Amino acid sequence: MTRVALLAASLWLLGCGSGGALAPPSPDTRGVEPAVARALDRARAAVLAHPADASAWGELGLSCDAHGFRTEARIAYARAGELDPGEFLWPYLGSWCAAEGDLGSALALAERARELSPGDPWVELWRGEILSESGARERAHEAFEAALALDPANVDARVGLAEIELSKGELGRARSRLEEALVRAPDERRILVLLARALSGSGDAEGARRLGERALVLGDPAPRLDPHRALVEARGASALHLASRGQAHLRKGEVELAIADFEAALAARPDLAPVRIELGQTLVLAGRPEEGLRLLREARERNPGDLAAARSLAAALAATGELEASADLCRIVLERLPADRELRANYARILRRLGREEEALEEERRLSGSLPDPVR
């Protein structure tokens, strides 16, 4: 927290003890998207109308938190907790806000949330992350173990345990944890990188190399939001929040809802290239190829060096039968990303569909490792 933010919070807390009516924090909305400013104004107006209502203060905290106003969110969560001292959610969410600059306060709030909601795996997981960041490895290990016992499917608890075990040189235990995590999240770069470290430390240089190559071509996965933090995400009104909700709809197969969110996000922020790409891909998937290809071509024209745009356009062109153009783009991207096995496999299939058998076989030999990648 900055010195200005600390001063603002201190002045607000002085007001809490004065016995007068408490004015809700007022985020500086200059320069934010209009939809965000309206959402914050609505939440603040609700507190002004019902200053003794814990849920109104909590909603203000959620809205501030969703849009990056952590100091104001922390103040609102604290007041909600005072008005409803039995509700664990407010100290829990306040702990997330405090963690950006005050791990001691973040831990104290997480401990309070744990007291109010014993047996919650997400609270235990968060305690473990704070303790690990603070250097309290043994206590963090205990918290991660507790989270895993409460939720055996929790990938993040396994990864947290493995990171601590790696740091202590317990390579076998770390490897076992990470292999279990990889079964549940096979395309997560963080797990692959950590497992490569464990293999390298155990003397398996070739296994570590293969995992490292896989990790290089993977993007960052969508975060696994716990249900409590999902309440924050749900209050987001910005273009990025709309895009995130579109991705969530897409993962559930709700294609039309995803398209609506992506279109709204792009209307608010035409500069967001990843949203333009995502919308283009989704439109092709939904049977609207002309619209999708137009957006993907726009994304590539706006930034010719964007490999994600080129890769997505190549896939869309193949799906719509423009095989020569797709093959050309695949070749261009593979020159920059020779370890992208998925793209190379697609390229081989496209070459075969074009009748270019010799080139297709050459790419398949590269995939099998019997032929090295060409030196560029």
Instruction: Give the whole-angstrom CA distance, residue 341 versus residue 334.
Output: 9
Q: What's the rounded mean pLDDT across residues 222-246?
A: 89
CB atoms within 10 A of CB 291: 15
Do the first three CATH levels of 32-116 and 119-217 match, i.e. the same topology?
A: yes
Higher pLDDT, 185 or 370: 185
C-alpha angle 251/252/257, rounded to 5°?
95
- pLDDT tens, residue by residue, 88-103: 999 999 999 999 889 9
Q: What's the rounded mean pLDDT across residues 272-289?
A: 94
Which range has highest mean pLDDT (154-163, 223-232, 301-310)? 154-163
Q: In CATH, what number does 119-217 get?
A: 1.25.40.10
Q: What's the rounded mean pLDDT across residues 158-172?
A: 96
- pLDDT tens, residue by residue, 27-70: 999 999 999 999 999 999 999 999 999 999 999 999 999 999 99
Q: What's the rounded mean pLDDT across residues 291-306?
A: 94
Any idea where the domains of the chain sit in the sequence?
32-116, 119-217
- pLDDT tens, residue by residue, 332-357: 999 998 988 889 999 999 999 999 99
Q: In CATH, what number does 32-116 get?
A: 1.25.40.10
Higher pLDDT, 20 or 247: 247
Give residue 74's Cα distance to chain centre. Answer: 22
